Amino acid sequence: MSQMNMIQAIRSAHDIMLERDPSVVALGQDIGYFGGVFRCTEGLQQKYGEHRVLDAPIAEGGIIGTAIGLAVNGLRPVAEIQFADYIYPGFDQVVSELSRLRYRSGGDFFAPVVIRTPCGGGIRGGQTHSQSPEGIFTHVSGVKTVMVSNPYDAKGLLISAIESDDPVVFFEPKRIYNGPFDGDPDKPAVSWAAHPKGEVPDDYYTVPLDKAEIVEAGEDLTIITYGTIVHVAQAAARRAGVDAEIIDVRTLMPLDVETLRDSVCKTGRCLVAHEATRFCGYGAELVATVQKECFWHLEAPISRVTGWDTPYPHAFEWQYFPVQQRLVDGIRKVMEAG
């Protein structure tokens, strides 16, 4: 066991898999000699060689396209896209090739590629360093989608993703790389040291790719969320003084419907929260699924607290971000309804 922040946990997952499995390779912009702009691969090229941790040209489509070729040749590429906002030039290779190869070839070919990418705001990145595009990947059949919320899960889920024979798009909320964030930007930043999920085993372990986690058990309402907002929701629930059951979805696709169903059927009230824009966001699917599964138990409309349907503005970052206050408002609304 060690204290790790999310960057160290992700690096550890790379390190262990590069060590255990000679077919694992990493590629991406600035990830080699430099170790990545967020340091997630620091020291790994030096340790495993330039042919295992490759600096790649600035072409997301080329990175994902060649990663597929590497995978078809028996390797297990872990591709880093420097910011989720820059994944779109590679979108065609994800949708038309990576996620369709196994299906269209009747199972003869498949490409176990992991695409890691930092997402989300809260670091004054403006509209091109803050996006959360998970909702456009979860709609694509054939690719699994993950968003992590803490170091322990980050390492365990990344190892699962690398070992999975399915392609995985792996989102890492950059706001919580160095510490959890409770959604109050006026508070000083805290580190992972104090957080139980900052305790990470040094060795190999996995977290399953299809299970949500109940991070807090409760009776009054269910808050379904993932990524940075998990921590915001916990703080908001405390502040609102409600006994909330808080679920970290973790693996967005495939979705662990059972955990959601059991919780909302029990509490009868549900709030869905994420950082991404609201319209047609991932939260829409969560609401649609829950209302179908738990309709007869619902005592109030399911409510969503999300980023607004605008790009992510630089100056108004904290008005765009679903801060604690907005979660509190959302919780109140769900509790007071009916």
Partner 1 sequence: MTKKPRIHIPQPTARPGEAPDFSYLELSPAGAVDRPDTDSRAADIGFLAHELVRVLDDEHAAVGPWAPEIEPEKQVEALELMVLTRAFDDRMLRMQRQGKITFYMQALGEEAVSIGQGMAFEPGDMMFPAYRNQGLYIMRDTGLVDMMCQCLSNTRDMCKGRQMPIFYQNREHNIFSISGNLATQYPHAVGWAMGAQIKGEDHIAASWIGDGSTAEADFHHALTFAAVYNAPVVLNVVNNQWAISTFQGVAGGERQTFAARGLGYGIPGIRVDGNDLLAVYAVTRWAAERARAGNGPTLIELVTYRGGAHSTSDDPSRYRPRDEWQAFPLGDPVERLKMHLIRNGEWSEDRHEALAQESKATVDAAWKEATSYGTLTEPPFLDVELMFEDVFAEMPEHLELQRRKLMRSLGSRS
Binders in 204-243 for partner 1, by CB under 8 A: 210, 239-240
Is 129 one of the annotated active-site residues of the chain? yes
Q: How many residues bind its own copies (CB under 8 A)?
A: 44
Minimum CB distance to partner 1 smaller for 50 or for 219: 50
Q: Of 19, 43, 47, 105, which lies in the binding site for partner 1, with binding defined by CB under 8 A?
A: 105
State which of residues 5, 8, 12, 29 lies at the interface with partner 1 (CB under 8 A): 29
Nearest to 250 by CA among 222, 212, 288: 212
User: Based on CB atoms, which residue is closest to partner 1, 107 or 188?
Assistant: 107
**107 near its own copies (CB under 8 A):** no
Taking CB under 8 A as the binding criterion, the range among 159-167, 176-184, 277-285, 320-328 that sits at the site for its own copies is 277-285
The 144-147 sheet, strands edge to edge: 53-55, 24-28, 76-80, 114-119, 168-173, 144-147, 251-253
- For residue 59, give the amino acid letter: A
Q: Which residues bind ligand TPP (CB under 6 A)?
A: 29, 58, 82, 86, 89
- Which one, 100 or 278, has the nearer CB to ligand TPP? 100
Looking at beta carbons only, is 216 or 293 nearer to partner 1?
A: 293
The least CB distance from residue 86 to ligand TPP, in Å, is 4
- Cis peptide bond upstream of 185, omega within 30: no
* 91 residue type, one letter: F
Asked if residue 71 lies in contact with residue 114, where contact means CB atoms within 8 angstroms, the answer is no
Residues 145-174 that bind partner 1 (CB under 8 A): 164-166
CA 33 remoteness from chain centre: 26
Which residue among 129, 195, 231, 274 is the active-site one? 129
Find the binder of partner 1 among 2, 43, 47, 69 (CB under 8 A).
Answer: 69
Burial (Cβ within 10 Å: 0-12, 13-18, ≥19) of residue 188: exposed
Place of tokens 């993932």: 226
Residue from 296, 159, 157 nearest 226 by CA: 157
Residues 69-98 that bind its own copies (CB under 8 A): 85, 88-89, 91-92, 95-96
CB closer to partner 1 out of 205 and 308: 308
Q: What are the DSSP E strand ranges found in the chain?
A: 2-3, 24-28, 53-55, 76-80, 114-119, 144-147, 168-173, 199-200, 213-216, 221-225, 244-248, 251-253, 270-277, 303-307
Region binding partner 1 by CB under 8 A among candidate stretches 138-146, 154-162, 175-183, 195-203: 138-146
- Of residues 50, 309, 316, 319, which one binds its own copies by CB under 8 A? 309
Query: With CB under 8 A, what is the number of residues at the site for partner 1?
Result: 83
> For 46-113, where are the E strands, in sequence order?
53-55, 76-80
